[in-house]
Chains A and B, each alone.
Chain A
């Protein structure tokens, strides 16, 4: 790979820059937009006069919420996806068909539609059935409320958070399942035969021989899928889960600072995902060094 720019590269960059300037000038001429960047920092961190300290405001709250939701649904999706991946490789035809159906439905229906369906038909029912609404209100009011809040955020928003996490996890589990299946199938046949020949049960064979090797192989695609999940989490703002996208929309509707707020959200998402990919790349490098 060439590390040095040569004259054709400079030419390409100059052309792009020129195009950007032209577009900018035209937009400025046509669009009457007053940039108010100065209001944005206040929506990240706000000085609370009464408490006398800095507190997080909408955008940072949204970012934290996005991270929280991503971690929870990522964890859940990994478990569900592993089960699904294993189910896809089972001998039992019924189980295999069920897993396949689940996957095909999720892969061939747009995520927004899937999420609305999951939300109204599943989460709502679950939350009603298990009285989660009342339960979380009680906790929010109780003394130990802050411990719960540390993990789940504002407990009054718990029902919407839990539907968001569930919906996202169910959606992503289909893709995790495919990754896990590919990993399982990439494990050499001889490994299973050797496991069987020493008398290991099917469950032990899976647990001690096949899955550890399969999961190790699929760490890179799984990491990628997690980054996708972080980005996909913006969709659940549509079911009123108060994450970054939802909060940004709130900022926009109260300030009319459309570009500033959305660009800030984009930068926050971008930094988060880019940071994750850097971390994963480094971990991967370490893993491959240690064989």
Chain B
């Protein structure tokens, strides 16, 4: 298992002077410690602890209102946490984080509502980040954009506007837009929930391919088939707390907590 491997590296670090590099690659890319989030008096997240390593695929599930979205939005600081710590690649997120933008470049996000820029073409949606943030030249950015459009299987839509595409195509453009920034982690916030049923699979296929390419992914989703296929670990949340973390095999067949079992019964019934 990853964790035990990690342990070995850290032990090795003490002995080796060049161990710093080891530390860099082996520390979890995302580390969440005792995270609390309040909206006024309402506590949305309670004492969340979670480490995600490079290359890991995490699927977060749970009933609506359980804080799943809030949790992943804390990872790129679209939400500011109230207490505890969030580290991305060793950088702690806080008010003092000077370069929150540098962190966000490393953390891509795909939204439930796609949030494509409606006044820009597909190609412009994909290139604006690389051009404005990574200071890439336009031809380079466009080449990269076409590469990623190819990877999400819609190279022919480059010059259309988002409104001219189907929901599934829009979500794939959104995934490509994030990938164009070459992030180290991808966050998915219920990427298929706003889609018509016949379009869900085309998006999930892209996500599976992404997972197979070794991308670190944290997905909030109710697509249990997808979860079974790609997840390294399942995280079950309820009322702002992480109730259970388990590999999918165990999670789906023999969940430890009763609440988790109840939730699975409800969503897998049909």
Contacts and interface: CB of A to CB of B under 8 A. Distances in A.
Nearest to A198: B129
A291 B161 contact: yes
B2 interface: no
B101 A188 contact: no
Contact of A197 (B78, B102, B161): B78
Contacts, number: 65
B117 A191 contact: yes
B141 to A, nearest CB: 12
Nearest to B132: A204
A85 B18 CA distance: 55
Interface in B83-131: 101-102, 104-105, 107-109, 111, 113, 115-119, 128-129
A52 interface: no
A201 B128 CA distance: 12
A194 B111 CA distance: 8
Contacts of A216: 119
B169 interface: no
A200 to B, nearest CB: 6
B231 interface: no
A287 to B, nearest CB: 12
B192 interface: no
Contact of A208 (B109, B128, B174): B128
A209 interface: yes
The residue in A188, A190, A197, A213 that gathers the most chain B C-beta atoms within 10 A of its C-beta is A197
Contacts of A204: 132-133
A200 B119 contact: no
B220 to A, nearest CB: 15
A213 B78 contact: no
Interface in B201-258: none
A48 interface: no
A200 B105 CA distance: 9
A193 B133 contact: no
A196 interface: yes
Nearest to B178: A198
A200 B132 contact: yes
Contacts of A29: none
A212 interface: yes
A199 interface: yes
Given A208-B128, A291-B161, A198 B181 contact: yes
Interface in B165-195: 174, 177-178, 181
Nearest to B78: A193
B7 interface: no
B118 A199 contact: no
Nearest to A202: B101
B178 A197 contact: yes
A205 to B, nearest CB: 9
Contacts of A201: 101, 132-133
Overall SS of chain A's interface = helix
B262 interface: no
Nearest to A205: B132
A197 B119 contact: no
A216 to B, nearest CB: 7
B70 interface: no
A209 B52 CA distance: 32
B234 to A, nearest CB: 24
Contact of A190 (B113, B177, B178): B113
A200 B128 contact: yes
A2 B188 CA distance: 53
A219 B177 CA distance: 29
A216 B120 CA distance: 13
B115 A191 contact: yes
Contacts of B118: 213
A134 to B, nearest CB: 46
A212 B161 contact: no
A9 to B, nearest CB: 42
Contact of B116 (A194, A196, A199): A194
Contacts of B174: 194
A184 to B, nearest CB: 14
A92 to B, nearest CB: 15
A195 B101 CA distance: 11
A194 B117 contact: yes
A188 B113 CA distance: 11
Contact of B115 (A194, A200, A213): A194
Interface string A159-201: 0000000000000000000000000000010110111111111
Interface of A: 188, 190-191, 193-201, 204, 208-209, 212-213, 216, 291
Given A190-B113, A194-B111, 5 more contacts: A196-B78, A198-B105, A199-B133, A200-B133, A208-B132
Interface of B: 76, 78, 101-102, 104-105, 107-109, 111, 113, 115-119, 128-129, 132-133, 161, 163, 174, 177-178, 181
Interface pairs A-B: 3 shortest CB-CB: A194-B115, A198-B129, A190-B115
19 contacts: A188-B113, A190-B111, A191-B117, A193-B78, A194-B115, A194-B116, A194-B177, A196-B76, A197-B178, A198-B108, A198-B133, A199-B105, A199-B133, A200-B129, A201-B132, A201-B133, A204-B132, A208-B128, A213-B117
